[in-house]
């Protein structure tokens, strides 16, 4: 994952949502441009409590992240081709780099991406587009496991139940 056009101080909550969705839906790592220690710290805290190996890394150069990509680059944008049309080419493509734009996306990104992909050609949310893409590619995150968690949720029909990891399910 690469988040481009983040505005430190202005976008912390939206970028944190992008990062949390990436983690919860099975991405391995998020590169953040420009870097923002607040988001890195926030996700480190989530990893300590909730487990898994997801990492956020600030990067001063999104071009470098693209050059290091080992598979197709998917840029999520409301102007791109419909996800349903591109999905067959993404399935089985191996490692993907998914780019989620923030407020300002450099025009060059459209040319640098392998696929510019839209989730509905309407204005909505990069958080939503990312979640739907990952759910289509990797399945619903219902059963995803996060090793090393200190705590986990026991799903319930009513109310909240959080147990220490390793505790017996009741």
Stretch that binds a second copy, among 21-29, 30-38, 62-70, 91-99 (CB under 8 A): 21-29
Q: Does 78 bind a second copy (CB under 8 A)?
A: yes
Question: Does residue 158 belong to the site contacting a second copy (CB under 8 A)?
Answer: yes
Residue 101, interface with a second copy (CB under 8 A)?
no
124 near a second copy, judged by CB under 8 A: yes
Closer Cβ to a second copy, 71 or 120, answer by number: 120
Alpha-carbon span 110 to 99, nearest angstrom: 10
CA distance 113 to 14: 23
Q: Is 151 in the site for a second copy (CB under 8 A)?
A: no
DSSP assignment letter at 91: T
Assign residue 61 a region (left: φ > 0; alpha: ψ between -120 and 50; beta: otherwise). Answer: beta
- Encoding tokens for residue 40? 């890195």
- CA pair distance 44, 37, nearest whole angstrom: 10
- With CB under 8 A as the contact rule, the residue among 111, 147, 164, 169 that binds a second copy is 111
Among 1, 11, 9, smallest CA distance to 102 is for 11
Residue from the set 157, 166, 168, 170 that interacts with a second copy by CB under 8 A: 157
Taking the C-alpha atoms of residue 81 and residue 117, their distance in angstroms, rounded to an integer, is: 5
Q: By the criterion CB under 8 A, which residues form the site for a second copy?
A: 13-14, 17, 20-21, 23-25, 46, 50, 77-85, 107, 110-111, 115-116, 118-125, 127-132, 135-136, 140-144, 146, 152-162
């Amino acid at each position: 994952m690469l988040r481009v056009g983040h505005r430190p101080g202005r976008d912390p909550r939206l970028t944190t949502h992008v990062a949390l969705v990436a983690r919860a839906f099975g991405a391995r790592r998020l590169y953040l441009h420009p870097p923002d220690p607040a988001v890195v710290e926030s996700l480190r805290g989530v990893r300590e409590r909730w487990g898994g190996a997801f990492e956020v890394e600030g990067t001063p150069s999104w071009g470098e992240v693209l050059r290091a990509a080992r598979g197709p680059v998917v840029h999520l944008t409301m102007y791109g081709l419909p996800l349903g049309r591109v999905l067959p080419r993404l399935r089985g493509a191996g490692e993907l780099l998914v780019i989620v734009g923030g407020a300002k996306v450099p025009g060059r990104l459209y040319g640098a991406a392998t696929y510019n992909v839209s989730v509905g050609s309407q204005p909505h949310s990069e958080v939503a587009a990312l979640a739907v893409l990952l759910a289509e590619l990797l399945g619903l995150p219902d059963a995803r496991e996060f090793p090393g968690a200190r705590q986990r949720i026991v799903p319930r029909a009513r109310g909240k139940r959080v147990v220490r990891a390793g505790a017996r399910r009741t």
